[in-house]
Amino acid sequence: MTNRYDIAVIGGGNAALCAAITAAELGAHVVIFETAPKAYRGGNSRHTRNFRCMHSGPLGPLVEDYLEEEYFEDLLKVTDGKTNERLARLAIRTSEECLPWMEEHGVRFQPSLSGTLSLARTNAFFLGGGKSLVNAYYRTAEKLGIEVLYEANVTHLELDGNRIAHLDYEHEGESKRIAPKAVVVASGGFQADTDWLTRAWGPPAKNFLIRGTPYNRGIVLADLLDQSVQSVGDPTQCHAVAVDGRAPKFDGGIVTRLDCVPFSIVVNKNAERFYDEGEDVWPKRYAIWGRLVANQPDQVGYVIIDSKSLDLFMPSVFPPIKADTLEELAEKMGLPPVQLKDTVETFNAACGDTSKFHPTELDGVKTTGINLPKTNWARPIDAPPFYGYSLKTGVTFTYLGLKVDENAQCSTQDGPITNLWAAGETMAGSILGQGYLAGFGMTIGTVFGRVAGREAANYAN
C-alpha cells in the first residue's frame, strides 16, 4: 500500500477537476480516479452546456445583472422549497467568483447566442459545450502535475472511526490499495445502475433512458451509504425529462430532446391524452414531461403534430414519423388508429379561434369544452402530412447523495469524517431536493468542487 498521494479525487467530471486543480494549486499531490476510458472522460459534464451564475453588472458573456435574491427565488420555484438555504445561498454567492476562475483555468464562453435560448443574463454558455470545458480542465490538471488514472474503478473506501483509512480500486486488471491523506468523492449519481434505479422507482425504471454517462453507477456512493455515511435526498427524485423514444439507452445527451410538445397533442399507447401540452413555455415545463411519461403504460408517450408546426421548434436528431392520414400515422407508430383519430377529432373540435397563435409566448389560444384542456397554442391538428415522435423518460441524474456541510465535508451520525469531502452530483441533493434549474448542476459542481479541493488540501498540508 502506498501513500504517494496526498489527495485522491474519485470521479473525472467538472466537480472532480475543480477539486483536483484547487488542491494541486495549494501544493497537494493529487490523483484522479476516472472510471471511464479517456474518450468518455468527464462524466455528465461532457454533455452539459452552461453555468448559471450570479453577477452584479455585466460579467464575462453575461449581460445586465442577476442577483442573489432572484437566483434564489428561481431555485425555490423549481424545488418547491426543498433546498438547504445556507448551502444554496453559498453556491449562488460563490458562483460569481467562479466565472473568472473558470476562464483563468482555460474555460471559454460563447460570446452571444442566437436561436431560441435567451439566457444571456443568467447562464454562461461554454464555447463548444461541456466536453471542451472538461478538455480545458484536463489540460490544466496535466500542467499542475495531477495524475489521472482512466478506467480506474474505485470499489471501496474503508471508513475507520472518523476517517477514511484507505481506498481500494481496480486498474489495468489488478486490485490495488492506496492510503491518501484525504479523499474527495465527485463520482456523480447512480442513474446508470438500472437495478438500483428499479429498486428506487419500481419496474417502470427499466424503460428509462439515461441521457448522460453510462459510468455513473453509484458504486462509491453505495459503499459509503452502507458504512452509515450520512445521506440526503429522495432516491426517487431525479432530473427526468421526456426524450425521443429512439434515443440510445445511454449517453444520448442534448440532441435527444424534443421541443415540439407545446405545438402538439401528446398521447399514451392507448392514444389518450394525459396532460395539458400547452401549460407553459418550453423549456420551463420541459422537465416535468419525464415524470408524466414515466407514469403512463409502458412508460411511453407519442407526440402528434401536423405540417403547420414542423418548423416551429428546434430540429430533432431523428426525423419524425410521417404519414398522410392519422390512421396511417397510428399504424406506423403502433397506436390504435380509431382511438387516435377519435382523440384528435375531439381535440380539434375543442379548438376555438386560433388567430392569436404565437409560438414563442403564452398566447392563450386554448381549447374549450374538453375535460383535459390545452391552455395555450391549441390549434387543430388537421393539415397533412401528419408527423409523430415517440417519447420516453430520460434520466439525467439522481438526487440521493451524500450530505455535506458548508465545507463540503461528509459526516456520520457521530460527526464529521475528518478526511472525506464530496462535490458535484454526489452531493447535489443537499441543495436540489427536487426539480432542476438549467445550469445549476455546474454551479454546484464548480463551487463545491473548489471548496472540497481547498479543504482537502488544507487538511493534507
Partner 1 sequence: MQTDLRQEARRQAEICNACRYCEGYCSVFPALHQERFFTDGNLTQLANLCHNCRGCYYACQYTAPHEFDLNLPMALAEVRQDSWESFAWPHPLAQIFQKNGVMIAVATVLGFAVLFLAMRTLGSAGGEGFYAVLSHNAMVAIFLPAFLFPLLSITISLRRYWEGTAGKRITLAHIVGAFGSAANMKNLAGGHGDGCNFEDEDKFSNARRLAHQAVMYGFLLCFAATSAGTILHYAFNMPAPYPLWSFPKLLGVPGGILMVLGTVELARLKLKADRNLGASSAWGGEMGFVLLLFLVALSGLLLYWLGGTQLMPLMLAIHLGSVLSFFLLTPYTKMAHGFYRLAALIRDEQRKAALE
**Binding positions for partner 1, rule: CB under 8 A:** 39-40, 46-47, 49, 108, 110-111, 113-115, 126-132, 135-136, 139, 248, 251, 253-255, 311, 314-317, 319
Taking the complex as a whole, the smallest distance from the CB of residue 48 to partner 1 amounts, in Å, to: 9
Within 10 angstroms of residue 404's Cβ, the number of other Cβ atoms is 29
457: cell is: 488540501
Taking the complex as a whole, the smallest distance from the CB of residue 97 to partner 1 amounts, in Å, to: 21
Nearest residue to 452 (alpha-carbon basis) of 12, 17, 72, 75: 17
Nearest residue to 335 (alpha-carbon basis) of 296, 308, 369: 296
Taking the complex as a whole, the smallest distance from the CB of residue 9 to partner 1 amounts, in Å, to: 20
Residue with smaller CB distance to partner 1, 129 or 278:
129
Taking the complex as a whole, the smallest distance from the CB of residue 430 to partner 1 amounts, in Å, to: 27
Within 10 angstroms of residue 203's Cβ, the number of other Cβ atoms is 8
Residue with smaller CB distance to partner 1, 73 or 311:
311
Taking the complex as a whole, the smallest distance from the CB of residue 423 to partner 1 amounts, in Å, to: 22
- Sign (positive/negative) of CA torsion 52, 53, 59, 64? positive
Cα within 13 Å of Cα(411), Cβ side: 12
Residue type present at position 44: N
Taking the complex as a whole, the smallest distance from the CB of residue 319 to partner 1 amounts, in Å, to: 8
Rounded to 5 degrees, what angle do the CA atoms 271, 274, 278 make? Answer: 110
| Residues β-bridged to residue 390 | 302
Q: CA-CA distance, 420 to 412, in Å (whole number)?
A: 11
ω before 337 within 30° of 0 (cis)?
no
Taking the complex as a whole, the smallest distance from the CB of residue 133 to partner 1 amounts, in Å, to: 9
Length in residues, the chain:
461
Residue type present at position 82: K
**β pairing state of 415-422 and 182-185:** parallel
